[in-house]
Chain A
Amino acid sequence: MNRYTWRTGLLEAVMVLVGLVFAFPVYVLVSIALRKEGDTASPIAPPSHPTLANFGDAWQKAGLGAAIGNSFMVTAGSVVLIVALAAAAAYPLARSTRHWSRWVFAVFMLGLLLPFQLALIPLYQTMRDLGLLGNPLALIIFYTGLQLPFSIFMYTGFLRSLDPGYEEAALMDGCGPVRAFVRVVFPLMRPITGTVVILNVIFVWNDFLTPLLYLSGSGRQTIPVALFGFVGQYVSQWPMVFAGLIIGILPVLAAYFLMQKRIIQGFAGGLKG
């Protein structure tokens, strides 16, 4: 059954061809970014005199350094808060059998159904009244609230299948419940924490509409919005624009290629519930 037959070979050839079709846009992205400005060769021709100059230009003109810094700050802040709050909330939600716990869990799960377009405008007003518009803190608060239901769902599912014996041993030894959680339960949840971190990092890093609204005009943009403005400004200078786009996705792409197995597992497994 597992022999490499001519059928497998044929399938392999077809799949590689499909792979090339999938990769074609990325090939264009890279080949244009390596071109000299004003190169009028066909868009699918490889660069005749490859140059890295576009990357320097894009870095300066798009202010990508600052934007990457902002994106890092917003992503790190949100994900740390999400993990801490979701893991803590999941602990009583998974362990308690009381009515309230089931209700609270149901309320959180309601959050998975409500499209955030409904809350978008009222929340925008509230943030404006609080003077948080233009402040990356607004984004951190937003992502934390938005991503908690899904993260709590993952943690609760994991905890329910985790033997309570470990934390009980700690409690019997006179450990307080907070310490038992921090020292025993949380470290045991490491696999699911990895998944929660991966999914949230990618979501927060890539999100566009929220920073477009909450940070617009503040000069403190995240990567997607900085790229949006940059392309709008230099729309005809494709080689430089593409170099900018590549810089913008490089951090996530590098992380992806370094940890592809873990990341793919996170996406596939985390959603099985």
Chain B
Amino acid sequence: MATVATSSFQKHRDGPPDKPPAPHTGKRRLSRQRAPWWFVLPALAFFAFVVLVPSAQGGWWAFTDWDGISPVKHFVGLDQFRTLWHDQAARDAVGTTLLAALSITIVQNAIGLLLALGVNAHLKSRNILRVLFFAPAVITPVVTAYLWKYLYAPEGAINALLKTVGLGFLRQDWLGDPDVALWSVVAVVVWQFAGYSMVIFLAGLQSIPQEIYEAAAVDGAGPVRRFWSVIRPMLAPAITINLMLSIIGGLKLFDQVWVMTQGGPGGATDTLSTVIYKQAFQFNKYGYSIAMGLVLTLFVIVVSGLQYGYLSRQEKKNS
């Protein structure tokens, strides 16, 4: 999704998407006048009802003490945010969310890129591998989370496998140990979506003309040099898309955590999304929950804005 936002901004920046028509294309003007403006109304109505209005309400309710039941909402100014600032659990959740988003972004894209480079080579099994690596991305996250919960159990498949291959000393209580649990959750997300990153990188790789590789090889560039100086710059759009997608997905992380640990043990895997859910639907602290939602919103906007600004400068430099 983030991607989409990215490229749309890009279009706006790189020049208006709809340049004024050249004078001789009178026909073109006809279609522009004839596209009925009211065609946007039904979409706008749904969008306003589901996203715009509730988001604006949320922005306002974050400054009230509303409990979700009573009809009155008292304006409390920044009280909720002050509480948030002093709430150790909430601060931990912010830290956990950022850490998870960052590590998911790095590991998922590194693996996705390696898979794409591998599958892009002339392997006999490349089609099967491509289908296999991408498959987890279409599976319901609730299902993969349960599957992994079983795999991670102390007497589960991963510990059994480690013992079988002689790495028994690595056995862990993967979800029960507060120091390990977050990384276990991150690994599940990476396993599920590395194939997604791979597919986007692969599309980028396949858009690079074969001659460019060959020219670089003829000029005596080794594989590493070829990757860094030839492939990487041409992959820049795919890199931007992938980084945006994974960081925003990581910031909103909920399903996998909720199914596998519900934020435990001892809050070690609580993310902003799970805390928002708990505060609202288990503790009826709606105003507080929405204040956290607003914090999450700011994180998403700031992080994706910074990232987009940086990456598009890189893209420009390369082109």
Interface residues of A (CB under 8 A from B): 1-2, 4, 8, 11-12, 14-16, 18-19, 22-26, 28-29, 32, 42-44, 81, 85-86, 88-89, 91-97, 100-102, 104-109, 111-123, 125-126, 141-142, 144-146, 148-150, 152-154, 157, 160, 164-165, 167-168, 171-172, 177-178, 180-181, 202, 205-206, 208-209, 213, 223-224, 227-228, 231, 238, 241-242, 245, 248-249, 252-253, 256-257, 260, 263-264, 267-269, 271-273
Q: Assess whether A115 is in contact with B143, with CB atoms less than 8 Å apart.
A: no
Q: Assess whether B140 is in contact with A208, with CB atoms less than 8 Å apart.
A: yes
- Which residues of chain A come closer than 8 Å to B12, judged between CB atoms? 106
Identify the 7 closest CB pairs spanning chains A and B, nearest first. A145-B50, A273-B7, A119-B54, A89-B43, A122-B57, A268-B203, A95-B35
Nearest CB on A from B201, distance (A): 9
- Which residues of chain B come closer than 8 Å to A248, judged between CB atoms? 140, 143
- Which residues of chain B come closer than 8 Å to A224, judged between CB atoms? 140-143
Nearest CB on A from B133, distance (A): 6
Question: Which of B84-92, B100-108, B297-305 forms part of the interface with chain A?
Answer: B297-305
B164 at the interface (CB under 8 A from A): yes
- Which residues of chain A come closer than 8 Å to B214, judged between CB atoms? 1
Q: Give 26 CB contacts A-B under 8 Å.
A: A2-B122, A8-B123, A12-B124, A18-B118, A19-B129, A22-B133, A25-B157, A28-B151, A88-B39, A102-B16, A104-B44, A111-B51, A111-B52, A112-B8, A122-B55, A122-B61, A144-B50, A148-B46, A150-B1, A208-B254, A227-B143, A228-B142, A231-B146, A263-B138, A268-B203, A271-B241
Closest to B130 in A: A264
Measured CA separation A245–B17 after assembly (Å): 46
B225 at the interface (CB under 8 A from A): no
Q: Assess whether B200 is in contact with A271, with CB atoms less than 8 Å apart.
A: yes
Selected contact of B31 from candidates A2, A119, A167, A268, CB within 8 Å = A167
Q: Assess whether B129 is in contact with A15, with CB atoms less than 8 Å apart.
A: yes
Nearest CB on A from B203, distance (A): 4
- Which residues of chain B come closer than 8 Å to A25, judged between CB atoms? 144, 147-148, 151, 157, 191
- Which residues of chain B come closer than 8 Å to A18, judged between CB atoms? 115, 118
- Which residues of chain A come closer than 8 Å to B48, judged between CB atoms? 145
B113 at the interface (CB under 8 A from A): no
Measured CA separation A126–B139 after assembly (Å): 31
- Which residues of chain A come closer than 8 Å to B31, judged between CB atoms? 95, 164, 167-168, 171
Nearest CB on A from B71, distance (A): 11
- Which residues of chain B come closer than 8 Å to A28, judged between CB atoms? 147, 150-151, 157
Interface residues of B (CB under 8 A from A): 1-12, 16-18, 20-21, 27-28, 30-32, 34-37, 39-40, 42-44, 46-55, 57-59, 61, 68, 115, 118-119, 121-125, 128-144, 146-148, 150-151, 155-157, 160-161, 164, 191, 195-196, 199-200, 202-203, 210, 213-214, 217, 237, 241, 245, 248, 251-252, 254-255, 258-259, 272-273, 276-277, 280-281, 286, 289-290, 293-294, 296-297, 300-301, 304
- Which residues of chain B come closer than 8 Å to A81, judged between CB atoms? 46
Closest to A5 in B: B122
Nearest CB on B from A166, distance (A): 9
Selected contact of B294 from candidates A16, A107, A118, A152, CB within 8 Å = A118
**Count: A-B pairs, CB below 8 Å:** 325
Nearest CB on B from A173, distance (A): 12
- Which residues of chain A come closer than 8 Å to B133, judged between CB atoms? 19, 22
Evaluate whether A252 and B140 lie within 8 angstroms (CB atoms) in the complex, with A44-B157, A122-B54, A273-B4 already known. yes
Measured CA separation A248–B164 after assembly (Å): 31
Q: Assess whether B143 is in contact with A43, with CB atoms less than 8 Å apart.
A: no
Q: Assess whether B157 is in contact with A43, with CB atoms less than 8 Å apart.
A: yes
- New A-B pairs, 15, CB < 8 Å, besides A24-B157, A121-B293: A25-B157, A88-B39, A88-B42, A94-B18, A119-B51, A119-B54, A119-B58, A122-B53, A149-B51, A206-B141, A209-B254, A209-B255, A267-B196, A271-B4, A273-B7
Evaluate whether A121 and B115 lie within 8 angstroms (CB atoms) in the complex, with A141-B46, A213-B281 already known. no
Q: Assess whether B129 is in contact with A24, with CB atoms less than 8 Å apart.
A: no
Selected contact of A112 from candidates B4, B30, B202, B297, CB within 8 Å = B4
- Which residues of chain A come closer than 8 Å to B272, judged between CB atoms? 117
Which among B16, B199, B251 has the highest number of chain A CB atoms within 10 Å?
B199
Q: Assess whether A89 is in contact with B42, with CB atoms less than 8 Å apart.
A: yes
Selected contact of B273 from candidates A8, A117, A231, CB within 8 Å = A117
Measured CA separation A177–B37 after assembly (Å): 11
Selected contact of A144 from candidates B18, B46, B237, B254, CB within 8 Å = B46
